[in-house]
Amino acid sequence: MKKTILITWWTGYIWSHWVVAFEQAWYKTVIIDNLSNSSISTLDWIEKILWYKPDFFEVDLRDIESMDTIFNKYNFDWVVHFAWLKAVGESCDKPLEYFDNNIVWSLKLFELMNKYDVKNIIFSSSATVYDSTNFVNWKGVLENGITWNTTNPYWTTKYLLEQILMDLSKFSWFKVMNLRYFNPIWAHNSGYLWEDPFGIPNNLLPYIMKVANGELKQLQIFGSDYDTIDGTWVRDYIDVVDLIDGHLKAYEKISGTEWFFKVYNLWVGKWVSVLEMLKESEQVTWKNIDYKLVDRRPGDVAQVFCDPSKALNELWWNSETSLENSLMNSWKFYSSK
């Protein structure tokens, strides 16, 4: 029988890719989303790839009654918890909203899991849980290098939920797979799924693509006086399809074993600055991308470099797609919209 997985907040960017990969790998996925940052049309795109629509409920995670009904209806093996508000700048403006949404409502979800005896969870964490001030030798931090030194409420919520899950694994027998990564980019190779948030994008790549495509006028680069190769901040950008493959490998490897808390860095191991990303995008799109250097963004993070070797050794996973290829595919979809 197919394993059944509940996915919170799936019609968003990363997790629509996730649904496709898991359905294709013969799992049944059941999805809830309140469509606050995504569109119901994602279902149609998914149907074009899979030839059917997965079970979907337009439900807010905070609607406990509806969530209870869904738990009652299905016999879930796993919950994949991606439910999160995720904008760094916004989290500094609305910290309480972030704590409420990301922590309080996650706890309600865990209560439901407990009630229905669903104790397996995949948590989408982030390299934000590492202390970004400690990395001077560039060897990269291993999974046990977690430190308490976050710079914004979004990151704090990731850190706190990891700690909560660790305790639930110790004291309530939750089985937790915790995956940490930074900046996913690109789109599904079918051409049907890509990152297209509502309104003005917060993230760099959709912003760049929209300027290249004439939908936005100018990119603002937040900070040019950082201690980096060209003064702009650097990040490790990972192709979203490689990232989902990492989730699948991790899930398959450990779903039958008796561990209670597993953590992996899903990391490319290559730095790209904002200006480098811009130049590379100009080459791929053959467009001049107008930009302006402005002040640092509040709460923006220092550089964190992770060591992805555990994922390579234990999951036989690494990210191989080149930045150029990721950008070319991204542009293919943006320019054809």
Q: Residue numbers of the site for ligand UDP (CB under 6 A)?
A: 88, 182-183, 202-204, 207, 219-222, 233, 235, 274, 297, 300
The count of chain residues that interact with ligand NAD, using the rule CB under 6 A, is 26
Rounded-to-integer distance, Cα 39 and Cα 140, Å:
37
- Picked from ligand UDP, ligand NAD, none, the partner binding residue 13 (CB below 5 to 8 A depending on kind) is ligand NAD
Rounded-to-integer distance, Cα 260 and Cα 249, Å:
17
**CB nearer to ligand UDP: pick between 105 and 233:** 233
Residue nearest to ligand UDP (CB): 233
- Binding string to ligand NAD for residues 50 to 89, with x set by CB under 6 A, is what? ----------xxx-------------------xxx-x---
Closest CA to 205 of 335, 302, 326: 326
Which range in 27-35, 217-225, 261-269, 273-281 contacts ligand NAD by CB under 6 A?
27-35
Rounded-to-integer distance, Cα 242 and Cα 166, Å:
26
- What is the per-residue burial (b if ≥16 Cβ within 10 Å, else e) of 77-115? bbbbbbbbbbbbebbbeebeebbebbeebbeebbebbee
- Single out the residue of 124, 152, 265, 329 in contact with ligand NAD (rule: CB under 6 A): 124
Burial class (CB in 10 A: 0-12, 13-18, 19+), 193: buried
The CB density around residue 253, as the number of other CB atoms within 10 Å, is 16
Q: Is 154 a catalytic residue?
A: yes
- Each as own residue / partner, the long-range contacts of residues 48-55 (CB below 8 Å, 24 or more positions apart, any chain) are 48/190, 48/192, 49/20, 49/188, 49/190, 49/192, 49/193, 50/20, 50/23, 50/24, 54/19, 54/23, 54/28, 54/29, 54/30, 55/28, 55/29, 55/30, 55/31
**CB nearer to ligand UDP: pick between 50 and 146:** 146
- Picked from ligand UDP, ligand NAD, none, the partner binding residue 37 (CB below 5 to 8 A depending on kind) is ligand NAD
Which range in 7-15, 161-169, 218-226, 244-252 contacts ligand NAD by CB under 6 A?
7-15
Q: How far is CA 322 from the centre of its chain?
A: 19
Minimum CB–partner distance for residue 14 and ligand NAD (Å): 4
Minimum CB–partner distance for residue 254 and ligand NAD (Å): 20
- Single out the residue of 3, 4, 28, 34 in contact with ligand NAD (rule: CB under 6 A): 34
Q: Does 150 bind ligand NAD (CB under 6 A)?
A: no
Backbone φ and ψ for 63, nearest 5 degrees, come out as -90, 85
**CB nearer to ligand UDP: pick between 297 and 332:** 297
- Picked from ligand NAD, ligand UDP, none, the partner binding residue 163 (CB below 5 to 8 A depending on kind) is none
- Catalytic choice (98, 154, 159, 181): 154
Three-state SS sequence of 108-141: HHHHHHHHCCCCEEEEEEEHHHECCCCCCCCCCE
Minimum CB–partner distance for residue 5 and ligand UDP (Å): 26
Report strand pairing: 237-239 vs 219-222: unpaired
Q: Looking at residues 171 to 190 of the shown chain, list those that interact with ligand NAD (rule: CB under 6 A).
A: 181-184
- Picked from ligand UDP, ligand NAD, none, the partner binding residue 35 (CB below 5 to 8 A depending on kind) is ligand NAD
Chain contacts with ligand NAD (rule: CB under 6 A): 9, 11-15, 32-38, 60-62, 82-84, 86, 124, 126, 181-184
- Active-site annotation, residues: 154
